[in-house]
Chain A
Amino acid sequence: MKIKTVNLRKVFRVGPSEIVAINNVNLKINEAEFIAIVGPSGSGKTTLLNLIGLNDYPTSGKIFIDKIDTSLLSGRERRKIRLFHMGFVFQTFNLLPTLNALENVELPMALAGKPPEKQREKAVRLLEKVGLKHRLYHRPKELSTGEMQRVAIARALANDPEVIIADEPTGELDSKTAKEIINLLSDINKEHKTTVIIATHNEKIVKVADITYTIRDGKIEITS
């Protein structure tokens, strides 16, 4: 899946004032790339990921996914792209607290209409892959932060997405666990040829990334 942004701009209105979060961003992300987006807090990283992940609408500019102009897509079509072609990993994991690890991973497959036995089989496989075979029936509150992030990564992989969008996935983790998560994402990128786009402060991610973009005051530039 190729992603391209053209003159992307996002402005938030707070009372009478305007905050330009993303200012004329032009990006080109190719298949199987590992992209890191770095920048200080409030620089617009999360906003950019939300726009690329079709979770938000730009004020102006366009986002093309495989040459499809996403501004022409309906909300339903955008949801379908998110469900079938993208996987999301959040800084705060965003696991559903009432579901156990297995069920959290099954959820995107259930929403995609996969048969229950296949959901179960694949969810077990993915959790094994992220090293959580022994935590299948544990609910998020019974897991450590590193384990929760692994479950979130397994969930992101559930529908074999072409892109994984991760917003500061190591932000809440200690350095050892963060390293494990980075390696996991890197392996996924290499094994499955999945595009990985990560917003991060973590230098180690920058090191494994194919391309690093730096975002500052809503403007973006390639730094490595």
Chain B
Amino acid sequence: MRFVTFCFRNLFRRKIRTTLCILGVALGTTFIVAVGAATMRYIAVIKEMSILFSGYVMVVSKDAIVIQAIPIGGGMLPQNHTEELIQNVTGVEKTIPILFITPIDIGGMLQPVPVNFSMGVPVDEWHSVLGPTPLRGGLGRFPANESCKEVVVGASLADQYYWTVGQDVMIGNHRLNITGVLDSKLALLSRCIIMPLKLAQEIYYSKSESVNIILAKPAQGYSQEELADSIENKVDYVKALTEDERNDIIRPILLQVETWNLGIQTIIFILSLILVMTVTIMSVSERRRDFATLDAIGAPLSYVFKVVLFETSLIGVFGGIIGIIFGSIGALLLAAVYTNIPITQFIPGIFEVVPPLYMLQIFVAEIAVCCLGGIIPAINATRIRVAEVLRAEY
């Protein structure tokens, strides 16, 4: 007679109750996986944005809020005047003006999280801004000059709207030709339309020479901190942020998000533990005679303990598996709802949304929690003596 079979049958002796308990654990796991994975993805996307503009001091309007590479709100900067002022600051090697627009309203749908971006970059500075970002399949090219009506688009956008190289797209009243699809793992770039700066200014600000970011590269021997301080001293309507400062702005926000996530996970794990413990205490109490019989025939206490603990861990296994499956679907749904990207686009990259290691962590944690929930009932079971049970019966 196999131990596992014995425990399995004991567990499903009360089918409805056990199934409900498993579903309860599964529901908790679903929530943990869905919310946890969505949060992790959100944090990862924000963190990876730090790669953009790496090595540059980011100059924005004084009242703008900056989330890594994204300026939110704040006024625009007069391009030529501001560039001139910054270039006059000692220690500046070069400046790159950028117009960063978020969000692009594609399809007129509400976007709780900005997911589509547009970036105007001077054509001779593509590689300084984007780094070594290739074009998908080696096809196409970056826009030829400042006056052309050409764009490159992010891979995720291209997939969602079936855009291909050579195709025209309408943005506002402008017909733009796609000359390439960016092949980048960065979520921001994969949702970005990148065009020449002049074109972006024409589309979004009617030829006004306004930008909202000016990148300043420190000359050799100058640190970003020194340069940022000097820029802020010389140009009073801007703030200059080093890479560290950009990271520092976002760090407490991410920490808070992570803490909330951890808090929610902890509460759900505790609820799972209470559920499993309650159900198992009931189960042990109903099976007093069985445990008394095991005691009478000489079963070691460790055996009785293991039976109960294994039963609760089976609840964790089943609840964990069901929860991870539904949680993964939930995470995809959340990602789709919050980004307006069709869920089908996330399915091939499901393990990027819900990493296998995260699934494993939650699975192991759920089993551990269920085992913990089984400890008190298991101790109760080892304390049942046949003499007491028989006395109670007669």
Query: A-side interface residues toward B, CB under 8 Å?
Result: 41-42, 46-47, 50, 53, 55-56, 75-76, 79-84, 86, 88, 90, 92, 94-99, 102-103, 106-108, 110-111, 116, 119, 155, 167
Contacts and interface: CB of A to CB of B under 8 A. Distances in A.
Contacts of B84: none
B9 interface: yes
Contact of A90 (B1, B301, B390): B390
Contacts of B300: 76, 79, 111
Contacts of B390: 46, 50, 90, 167
Nearest to B10: A98
The B interface is mostly helix, strand or loop, or mixed, namely helix
A218 to B, nearest CB: 15
B298 A107 contact: no
A96 B290 contact: yes
Contacts of B9: 98-99
Nearest to A79: B298
B298 A99 contact: no
Contacts of A75: 301
A55 B289 contact: no
B385 interface: yes
A86 B297 CA distance: 8
A76 B303 CA distance: 12
A108 B387 CA distance: 19
B394 A111 contact: no
Contact of B292 (A41, A94, A103): A94
Contacts of A80: 298
28 contacts: A47-B387, A53-B296, A55-B296, A55-B385, A55-B387, A56-B385, A56-B387, A79-B301, A80-B298, A81-B298, A82-B298, A88-B297, A90-B293, A90-B390, A92-B289, A94-B292, A98-B6, A98-B9, A98-B10, A98-B13, A99-B1, A103-B1, A103-B6, A107-B1, A107-B297, A111-B297, A155-B297, A167-B390
B381 to A, nearest CB: 13
Contacts of B292: 94
A98 B296 CA distance: 18
Contacts of B296: 53, 55, 82, 88, 90, 94
A153 to B, nearest CB: 13
Q: List the 5 closest pairs (A to B, CB-CB), nearest first.
A: A83-B298, A82-B298, A98-B9, A56-B387, A103-B1
Contacts of A84: 298
B236 interface: no
A55 B384 CA distance: 11
B299 A79 contact: yes
A107 B299 CA distance: 9
Nearest to A156: B297
A41 B294 CA distance: 26
Contacts of A50: 386-387, 390
Nearest to B292: A94
B243 interface: no
Nearest to A82: B298
Contacts of B301: 75-76, 79
B394 to A, nearest CB: 7
